[in-house]
Amino acid sequence: MAVTRTLSIIKPDATKRNLTGAINAKFEAAGLRIVAQKRLHLTKAQAGAFYAVHAERPFYDELCTFMASGPVVAQVLEGEDAVAKNREVMGATNPAQADEGTIRKEFALSIGENSVHGSDSEENAAIEIAFFFSGLEIVG
Ligand code: ADP
Ligand code: MG
């Protein structure tokens, strides 16, 4: 299995509860390395651009409002099969369906305020990483 990268976002519900370190500990325990990280407060327009693939979904407006409601921490995670590994550590979108020990099981408040974002494919990971980071900011 190749070492690859994925884009992670610690969402406003989690930064608000001061969970950045607790969530990062879960990534590191799973063998994912944080090779870039920054805290920023997205505008609603920036959140909308990031989630443009969901523009037709009924929860799009709610999602963009939530993602702009407080600080987020954008990160690049690196490791063996990083996209799939991170999705495993995150758990299911709906915390009620997430496995024990996952970030969403432990920390998510609801299907919307679910503490973390993770890319869903290597192709999207490359697009999402480029949305937040320049090559110079990623140090593996
Ligand atoms: P994931 O984040 O697990 O990849 P999706 O890509 O399907 O999930 O959805 C993106 C984000 O939109 C979710 O993480 C969640 O914050 C929000 N979301 C998804 N489904 C719903 C829903 N039914 N109601 C409200 N928000 C939702
Ligand atoms: Mg998704």
Note the pLDDT of residue 38. Answer: 98
Note the pLDDT of residue 6. Answer: 98
Note the pLDDT of residue 1. Answer: 81
Instruction: From 77, 53, 59, select the one nearest 132 (Cα to Cα).
Output: 77
Using 70 as the pLDDT threshold, list the residues of the chain that sit under it: none
Tens of pLDDT, residue by residue over 46-64, are: 999 999 999 999 999 999 9
| pTM of the predicted model over 0.85 | yes
> Which amino acid does the sequence have at 124?
N
Ion ligand 2 — residues with CB < 5 Å: 120
Note the pLDDT of residue 23. Answer: 99
Residues within a 6 A CB radius of ligand 1: 54, 59, 62-63, 93, 111-112, 114, 117, 120
Note the pLDDT of residue 93. Answer: 98
